[in-house]
Chain A
Amino acid sequence: MALESAETKIVPGALDPAAIDEPEDEVFEKRRIGVLAWIGIGWLGLVVLIAILAPLLPIKSPTLGDYVHPQAGMFTPGHILGSDDSGRDVLSRVIWGARASLLISLGSIAFGTLIGGLLGLIAGFKGGVTDTVLSAFFNIFLAFPQLVLALTLVSVLAPVKNSGGASSGEWAHRILVVILAVGIVSVPLLGRITRASAISWSQREFVMAARAQGATNRRVMFREVLPNVMPAMLSIALLGVAIVLVLEGALAVFGVSIQEPDPSWGNMIYSQLSNLNSAPTVWIVPSVLIFVSVLALNYLGDVVRARFDVRESAL
């Protein structure tokens, strides 16, 4: 059946009336993304939805301690996912923590994709001196270990104040600082990938054909090259979101991510480093969330690449 459909759809004999009458949507039938990808999308959608709706959900305060039930285990009445050593509800904390973690990972990758993608596109398309300068810039940044660079940037941009209870303004400021720091770290990564892809697409004949029709460089870059580079960029960006989810945890270990008492998935794990055994749910729950989300993002990254990779040889 697969062969049969391949024959009728991939090579639409232009003068063959049977091929012309084929319903449009069937042409794309064989490009379905699969059940696993939908599970991944569903999971991420759920996490994002819950994070957005956190203030409306009937959950306990993430920062107020319940001193009657500290370190409650799983399925304790009132604390379905347990509570930490101050008696704060783990369910509530992972939901509110998702806001911070997702904002940081999506925000920083959006920043990195925008800036890195643009620089990479320009470097790959223009070549020559522009490329040399931009590539040198990328390489210098890549030479630093990501974590060290992110740590340095966060510390420089906003030193941690030990003032205790954080206001919501301070929370937003912290998020912005972490987004900026991690975003800067991701610029060269996305820049390099985009540059490599842009180089190969810029040398294609259709780019010359567009120039030969009188298109300006800017037009050729954004209309001809960029759409072809997008799949590679998106796929790496999705992986990047996953990497940043983990990186946020690492930053939390060094105490420069979201500050207590506000939760993020990273600092929830870190906060229980001293009593891993007595209240395991506090670090297991966010760890599992990070793990599943990273898995989903990784898989979706691959799917995006396979789905949008329009190669003439494959068609």
Chain B
Amino acid sequence: MENDSRNNDLSRVLGPERRQRRHLIDILQDIQAEQGYLSRQAMLEVSKFLDIPGSSVWGVATFYNQFRFTPPGRKPVKVCLGTACHLAGGQLVLEATARELAIEIGGTTGDMEFSLERVACIGCCALAPVLTIGGEVHPRMTPPRVEEAFVNIKAAAPGAPGTESLP
């Protein structure tokens, strides 16, 4: 599992030049970039490093939309619900994706392959509605095209667990 190989050593992120409160958010951003999410342990380590209460770290981390507290799937799925996407039927795309993956918004599939998020605007308004799967943009989606996209991805991954491994 990729999860296990994720770097748990924070020494690279917690360099002495960053031992200031003003670096709290970029430290958290870097940890999330490396580990995919903010674990309780990582946040406690940051609190010790900056000498601020753990509750402050938690308070800041939960305030901002960027941070997540559970491990994401290997291929994060993000459905855009910015204004243009919403008006073009983004909500239906989101529902179709949740149905396709059989998970809730914010959840991860049992095999850790996909996680599902709604995002504010990824700046592809001319291609609305869009979703991204593992960073790849899929333009002008409709519920049937969502199904198609996942069928293609699952078919393209050799030896990948099929739909039956999804909860």
A is bound by B: no
Residue positions of B touching A, CB distance < 8 A: none
Residue positions of A touching B, CB distance < 8 A: none
